[in-house]
């Protein structure tokens, strides 16, 4: 076998190994993408939220943890909703 034979054999080996690597990468990416689509639907992108909605969520979390009682929760919630409806600070 001459020099061109060795060159052709080496080049063919590189091409075959390159195709094997590319095929493996594409298969892994396809299975990851397919696995992600089978799970729960992705959450929609976060948009701007009303400040009152965030405050109500925080208030509800504090109430759920037991940091505030029923009366304080109801009082603060009415204040938040009163401000959200358009009345100014008192």
**How far apart are the C-alpha atoms of 60 and 9, rounded to whole Å?**
71
| pTM of the model as a whole | 0.38
Could you report the per-residue pLDDT of 30-45, keeping only the tens digit for each?
A: 988 876 666 555 555 5
Is residue 73 a contact partner of residue 63, using CB atoms and an 8 Å limit? yes
Smallest CA-to-CA distance from 56 within 74, 42, 29 is with 74
**How far apart are the C-alpha atoms of 47 and 53, rounded to whole Å?**
13
Q: What is the pLDDT of residue 85?
A: 54
Q: What is the pLDDT of residue 13?
A: 97
Q: What is the pLDDT of residue 51?
A: 66
Could you report the per-residue pLDDT of 50-72, keeping only the tens digit for each?
A: 666 788 999 999 999 999 999 99
Would you give the DSSP letter of residue 66? T
Is residue 80 a contact partner of residue 52, using CB atoms and an 8 Å limit? yes
């Amino acid at each position: 076998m001459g020099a061109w034979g060795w060159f052709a054999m080496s080049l063919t080996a590189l091409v075959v190994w390159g195709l094997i690597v590319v095929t493996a990468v594409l298969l892994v990416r396809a299975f990851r993408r397919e696995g992600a689509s089978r799970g729960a639907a992705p959450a929609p992108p976060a948009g701007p939220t009303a400040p009152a909605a965030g405050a109500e969520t925080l208030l509800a979390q504090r109430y759920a943890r037991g940091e505030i009682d029923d009366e304080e929760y109801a009082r603060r919630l009415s204040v938040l909703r009163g401000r959200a409806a358009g009345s100014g600070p008192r």
